[in-house]
Amino acid sequence: MLFEVWAPRPERVRLLVDGATVSMERDDDGWWRVDVPVAGEVDYGFLLDDDPTPRPDPRSRRQPDGVHGLSRTYDPATFAWTDAGWTGRQLPGSVVYELHLGTFTPDGTLDAAVERLDHLVSIGVDLVELLPVNSFNGTHNWGYDGVGWFAVSETYGGPAAYQRFVDACHARGLGVVQDVVHNHLGPSGNYLPLFGPYLKDGRNTWGDLVNLDGEGSAEVRRLILDNALMFLRDYHVDGLRLDAVHALHDSSEVHLLEELAVEVDALSAHQRRPLSLIAESDLNDPVMFRPREAGGHGLTAQWSDDFHHAVHVALTGETTGYYADFEPLTALQKVLTRGFFHDGTWSSFREREHGVPIDLEHTATWRLVVASQNHDQIGNRARGDRITEVLDEDQLMCAALLTMAGPFTPMLFQGEEWAASTPFAFFTSHPEPELDRATAEGRLAEFEKMGWDPAVVPDPQHPQTFLASKLDWSETDPDRDGGRHARVLDFYRALAALRRTRPELTDPSFAAVRCEVDEASRLVLLWRRDTLVALNLGDDTAQVPLTGALVGGRLLLGTTAGPRLDTAPGATTLVLPPHAAAVVAPRPRP
């Protein structure tokens, strides 16, 4: 078996494998190699210079004893796939569902998550997006503190369980999107600097900068590219969510993101299935998804936080911190019709102009992935509280309508489809006392500008913070809480079915979207072609006289409060009780 590692820094590298120590030979590019007569899964590590402690492989596929322990070989080709007929799932028209494996089920494993996949099919999900699964220190974590990028965490079941999960998803017609983090490494178990110049001077929000453009950066970039291709090729994943790409500091002639897009496009062509790259970007810059031929990076899509902020403020009235600019309903109107709210406008939170306009004529609306709830917007609140705490079920259904009947690619967050009452707090399990303190203190400092009370922030290191964030699946019982959860779940299922049967709801043209708002009555009227999505966000009943093809139209879907159509000769009025919403289709053509 060939063992190799890029380690230009040490003068000597030895391999510790299966209890034996073997010398390795170095080439001119800093790669050390040795062929050893072992087979199957074996434990191994690298001894650097005279350090007696073996270090894990930067490309380790397994870390059975944690991030500080020995690596273990794993051959993904040994898995017996059953998805030979799988042709993929494209992002346009799809519904994405974001979940965290540790809190999605009581057991918190990949195999346990398989048992809930049929539920996702029932609510119209097309793509399951997993929070990071890379190896991290401790027993539970969001996954963004990973250090073993190639190793699926043993907490979730390891690489074989990951393959079983992807295979099970494909068997049900579900694609898989994996969230990957390449902008920093976690604070515990990062041994990469011992091997070579993986990091460079400078820091971003979460740690030292990854070396993408300095001396030795070619191999660092190759590590990231190979990690991405591993998930797509070896583990049959259908797309990647690229975490916080604005924190990738790269001054190279060809940006890492463009290089990644080129290689993924080549793999997609070879495998004859769509492979998606979805950026999380704080830049509000369409360069992310603009085609390479037009000077962009050529990614598939990007998250849009502006949509979340506009919906959140419109429904909750919360205007602290970065929510302040989204107070008027016209912010929601702009987001729905132009994609970004901040597209070169002044951001009071950032205290500068922010964003770049989207080319509405040549850009498909599905290139923005939007959510009314996601792991960041819930988990980065002081208590990890959901909007279910402050909104009634009609308002929750309004949020669902804006997300799933709006013009963009909708993403749901685990449990939102039944108005889950459980929080999703920020949690960690760092064994080191100094990291325990630093995490708690850093968490409090993050909330100062948002004006949230630090006294209510749960301790990220306390086990109960993690346990309280686990979904309570019994809430889907029709008898729980007066049937509230079941009614919201039924609405999501009905809305998903509507997306599948009404092509105007997945029309990707900005030209097919029109929106009017009334600040006084809090009325929002959103047209998808000639179909009307009407929302009464106010506290009084609203009457909407319908015109044109909507006269004599059909009520396709309504929220719990019971919107109705009042019809008189030659006139139709949509009556919306407080907080109610409805979807109205034009009258059938003769």
Q: What is the mean pLDDT of each run of 10 residues along the chain (590 residues)?
A: 98 96 97 96 97 98 97 98 98 98 98 98 98 95 94 98 98 98 93 97 90 97 98 98 97 98 98 98 97 97 98 97 96 98 96 97 98 94 94 98 98 98 94 78 66 82 96 96 96 98 98 98 98 98 96 97 94 97 92
- Determine whether 219 is an active site residue: no
Are residues 45 and 55 in contact, defined by beta-carbon separation less than 8 angstroms?
A: yes
Whether 263 is a known active-site residue: answer no
Half-sphere exposure of 556 (CA within 13 A, CB side): 23
Cα within 13 Å of Cα(309), Cβ side:
25
Q: Which two tokens stand for residue 483?
A: 């049937």
The arrangement of strands across the sheet holding 13-17 comes to: 20-23, 13-17, 43-48, 71-72
Task: Please give the structure tokens belonging to residue 56.
Answer: 């894990």
* Residue 453 pLDDT: 78
Q: Which domains does the chain have, with CATH numbers?
A: 2-78 (2.60.40.10), 511-585 (2.60.40.1180)
Interatomic CA distance for residues 343 and 20, integer angstroms: 60
* Of 141, 148, 1, residue with least CA distance to 64: 148
Residue from 243, 259, 306, 376 carrying the catalytic annotation: 243
3-class secondary-structure state, position 329: helix
Residue 112: other Cβ atoms inside 10 A: 17
DSSP string, 492-551: HHHHHHHHHH-GGGG--BGGGEEEEEETTTTEEEEEETTEEEEEE-SSS-EEEEE-GGGT
Say which DSSP state 472 is in: -
Residue 197's pLDDT is what? Answer: 97
Categorise residue 432: left if φ over 0, alpha if ψ from -120 to 50, beta otherwise: beta
- Dihedral angle sign, alpha carbons of residues 313, 318, 324, 327: positive
Sequence-distant (6+) residues with CB within 8 A of 66 are: 135, 137, 154, 189
* First-residue to last-residue Cα distance in the chain: 72
Q: Give residue 448's pLDDT.
A: 66
Three-state secondary-structure class, residue 552: coil
pLDDT given for residue 551 in this prediction: 95
219, 258, 280, 393: the catalytic one is 280
CA distance 150 to 393: 42
Closest CA to 531 of 564, 499, 559: 499
Q: 241 near 280, Cβ under 8 Å?
A: yes
Count Cα atoms within 13 angstroms, Cβ side, for 248.
Answer: 26
